[in-house]
Chains A and B, each alone.
Chain A
Amino acid sequence: MIDLIHVTKRFGAATAVDDISLSVAQGELCVLVGTSGCGKSTTLRMINRLIEHSEGEIHIDGQQIRRFREQTLRRRMGYAIQSTGLFPHWTVARNIGLVPRLLKWPAARVQARVEELMALLGLSMEAFAGKYPHQLSGGQAQRVGVARALAADPDILLMDEPFGALDPITRESLQDELRTLQARLHKTIVFVTHDMDEALRLADRLVVMHQGRIVQQGRPLELLREPADGFVESLLGGEDRGLKEAALLPVSQRMLPLGPRLLARERIGQQASLREALSLMLWRHAERLTVVDDDDLPVGELSLRRLVGARSDG
């Protein structure tokens, strides 16, 4: 659990972060989003004291972070960054084992933990343990970066645009993996990004920052439906907001039970998003879809009217 209470950061005369208050609950994935220079990275780096805050208080599990030694504090938190920051002169295995070794775990335990993490992130031990970072693809390197951040099993994970430098396909697959991981591990995660789609996909709580202040925070759907001002609205995609919202809602939320009519020819999974359903309708010129479960058995149907309509009955 992380609490920021009226926190301000000044660099000389410039105020980078201006009196923000934010509370991230245990197990919550909180995404800080905003344009460059809005103070989101500064906020993240104040939490592990890579930057010292000027005013206010930051608490971890109810204790002020200034009461810890910097190094002790940082070893309790995972840290992953855009450039991966992998040590180029160390092998993958040695990179991942960094924090456990700093914490003076016995060698056998470090080794076991490294193997466990590599398995968790789908990096085969034989193929990757002895490789050096420059021999990895961008996606693999970032997986190693995440594994390293998770190594000492910290409760808190700080991620500063970790997927920012990856191609869109790799980025999406890593976002999915992060969500799957988070469903298993329930870490408290603060994630910084400027990519709104990434933010909407990942966030339990979305925090929009602008010029050092928090403009709005809440669940992604809340922000989409009621943006606080024009800035949040434009950041959320303006006219694309409908599509972005549809991407967050599953088909199962809008479908009707199977009626007396014939089944529609086009099928869609009940876990698919409304956005995918809409795209399928457009592509196939179909006004109705048959909704199927994981075993491809029909469980309901979705009409265009239901899809677009009914926020009131949704």
Chain B
Amino acid sequence: MRTPRPAPNVVLLILALVGLTAWLGLESVSVAANRIVPGTGYRVVEVIGGGALLVTTLPWLALAGLAWRPSRTRFIVALVIVVLMLSALPAWLALSAAMLVEGGQARLGIAAGLWVVFFLLLLAMIELRTRLALSRLVGWALLLPPVAIVGLGVARWLSALALWQEYRSRSDQFLGALGEHLLLVGAAVGASLVLGVGLALAMRRWPGLQRVGFGVLNFLQTIPSIALFGLLLAPLAWLSAQVGWLAALGVSGIGWAPALLALVGYSLLPMVRNTFVALEAVDPGVIDAARGMGMSRSQVFRQVRLPLALPVILEGIRITTVQAIGLTAVAALIGAGGLGTFIFQGLGQAAMDLVLLGALPILVLALLVDALLGALTDILRPGVAE
């Protein structure tokens, strides 16, 4: 043997073994008679019996085996297996529904075991994508088969799924809430971008502003979000009572106005900090050369400083947006609408699936924005665009 045996890929090995354990040991799905009562959990063996259970262990063992003596080919095979397993999860839910759910009110819930399996498979996919050095785009394309299967199958075979039932009874509300959520996030990020860049430029122009500016923004950041919404209630209500056209606009102590104000307040710190640091961190030698070559102040800024700072500024927009998507959920408490509405309704009614109906889209939105802006940052990194 000239080449030594490759060391096992510990990450994939552990993911496969833990995944198998969760698959076998934890409750995979639950069935409830209606939306309020707690469901009964079922392990895989209780759904399909011992013989079929053995068959379902095979892909896990295959993954572990491939991880034990890895090579590029084996990683590709493992990746195919992982994608197939992810695609099979909706089918597993449909099968469980067919086996377990009886009666119109009864519904199928996703239990701990299946969530664990789902996340472990996603982690395995990320690990394999990294090992194979696949591009971000390919990484996202790999998610298409499972998503497509959910999309195709959800109405027909997954109608017993509790999450789907919650959605179906609120599909109009859902789209409205999603719209409100996106609007609030968009407005907050847009406003804080304009304000934040302006503030960062002012701080560069007048360095004396830096301490005061960052002090105030840091302080804002430390106020708990619910408290800030509460604090804005009184002054905004007063303002709206005093100024007629503000009231006509819909500004009041509750609703979108305090939510937007608070969101902008929270968004300013990451926005200003990243913009400021990005502009300051440009190599002074480059700026010196630009000036020495005879570029005017505005040419230096537009052609050199800004383009070089842009990736870090975009990073700030990414952080801000992801943070705002999460914070907007809390804004539902003061009547600003958005997906948070479902979360708080669900909490109030002890209907966990309704909570999920609000929480899952927020999670997906955040991941999506993170990925999109991350890709944009990569493209704009200096000297890599071909």
Contact = CB atoms under 8 A, between A and B. Distances in A.
A50 B288 contact: yes
Interface stretch (A67-75, A166-174, A227-235, A247-255): A67-75
Contacts of A102: 293-295, 299
Given A84-B285, A85-B285, A132-B383, A50 B293 contact: no
A39 B304 CA distance: 28
Contacts of B299: 102
Contacts of B290: 85, 87
B136 interface: no
Given A83-B283, A89-B383, A74 B288 contact: no
Contact of A99 (B293, B307, B384): B293
Nearest to A99: B293
A88 B382 CA distance: 6
A225 interface: no
B21 interface: no
A187 interface: no
Contacts of A89: 307-308, 382-383
B293 A79 contact: yes
B294 A81 contact: no
A207 B289 CA distance: 24
Given A132-B383, A133-B383, A134-B383, A85 B294 contact: no
Nearest to B385: A89
A81 B383 contact: no
Residue among B290, B293, B304 having the largest count of chain A Cβ atoms under 10 Å: B293
Nearest to A131: B383
B288 A88 contact: no
B293 A86 contact: no
Give the interface size class of chain A: 20 to 34
Give the interface size class of chain B: 10 to 19
Interface string B119-140: 0000000000000000000000
B295 A81 contact: no
Interface in B151-194: none
A168 B293 CA distance: 27
A73 B383 CA distance: 30
B296 interface: yes
Contact of B289 (A73, A75, A85): A85
A72 B308 CA distance: 25
A81 B307 CA distance: 22
A148 interface: yes
Residue among A75, A87, A98, A158 having the largest count of chain B Cβ atoms under 10 Å: A87
A149 to B, nearest CB: 8
A99 B293 CA distance: 6
A98 B296 CA distance: 13
B226 interface: no
Given A79-B293, A87-B308, 7 more contacts: A50-B288, A50-B291, A79-B289, A82-B285, A85-B285, A85-B292, A132-B383
Interface of A: 48, 50, 70-75, 79, 81-89, 98-99, 102, 132-135, 145, 148, 158
6 smallest CB-CB distances across A and B, nearest first, come from A85-B289, A83-B285, A89-B382, A132-B383, A74-B294, A75-B294
28 contacts: A50-B291, A70-B294, A74-B292, A74-B293, A75-B293, A79-B293, A81-B288, A82-B285, A84-B285, A84-B289, A85-B286, A85-B290, A85-B292, A86-B289, A87-B289, A87-B304, A88-B286, A88-B308, A89-B307, A89-B308, A98-B293, A98-B295, A99-B293, A99-B294, A102-B295, A133-B383, A145-B289, A158-B292
